Amino acid sequence: MAASEFILGPLADNPHRVGKPLDEPLDGFYSARVMREWRILYKIDDSQRRIKVQSIRHRRDAYRSH
């Protein structure tokens, strides 16, 4: 599944379920796996019902500072 399909599908439908919350220094962000090797880092704004995608990176680089 391509990243755009994942974002518009499962991530948009249930962002809390498909991702895991991250700890410091990325507190407030979630991470979801796409195609085994890629990670989507995003924030959820429940009050606005919005998801802000911060980055789509290879898992090797996903958690390094931006």
**What CATH number is given to the structural domain containing 17?**
3.30.2310.20
Contact (Cβ atoms closer than 8 angstroms) between residue 30 and residue 20: yes
What are the beta bridge partners of residue 43? Answer: 52
Within-domain flag for 64: no
User: Mean pLDDT in the chain?
Assistant: 93
Q: What is the mean pLDDT of residues 18-31?
A: 96
Within-domain flag for 63: no
Within-domain flag for 43: yes
Within-domain flag for 14: yes
What gap in Å lies between CA 66 and CA 1, rounded to an integer? 25
Range of the domain at 35: 3-58
Within-domain flag for 66: no
Within-domain flag for 31: yes
Q: Count structural domains, the chain.
A: 1
Kindly list the distances between the CA atom of residue 32 and the CA atoms of 28, 54, 60, 64, in Å, as whole numbers in the listed order.
Answer: 14, 12, 14, 15
Q: How confident is the model at residue 24 (pLDDT cuts 50, 70, 90)?
A: very high
pLDDT surpassing 80 at residue 20: yes
Contact (Cβ atoms closer than 8 angstroms) between residue 32 and residue 11: yes
What global pTM score does this model have?
0.89
pLDDT of residue 53: 97
